[in-house]
Amino acid sequence: MSARTRIAPAAVAAALSLAVVVAPASATKPVGECTQSYSPYTLGQWLDIAPNGSDVFQQVDHNVDGVICFKFYSNGPHQDVYLGNLIDDMAAPHS
């Protein structure tokens, strides 16, 4: 087998692997789902729970899809102030 014959398959394999690496990344922001213990809330639904909570919603909604995940504390408000825990839906597993 000549050197040229051995190099050709290696060159093709290298070009194919480079094509996979250079593929463009998706520009869409990740959208997830809430885990089983959390429920999804839109801004309107969140404001029903926390009427002055618009700023908190915007800070938690990292992927800016208008949905956060919230779960109430099982034993009631913590320190008579905090109702539960909230996270962005992009923190959940994606399909």
What average pLDDT does range 2-10 have in this prediction? 54
Q: What pLDDT is attached to residue 78? A: 66
How confident is residue 92, by pLDDT bands cut at 50, 70 and 90?
A: low
Give yes or no for residue 77 having a pLDDT over 70: no
What confidence tens digit (pLDDT) does each residue in 49-59 have? Answer: 888 889 999 99
The per-residue pLDDT of the chain, averaged, comes to 73
Give yes or no for residue 84 having a pLDDT over 70: yes
- Alpha-carbon distance of 8 to 81, in angstroms, equals 69
Residue 81 phi, psi (nearest 5): -130, -55
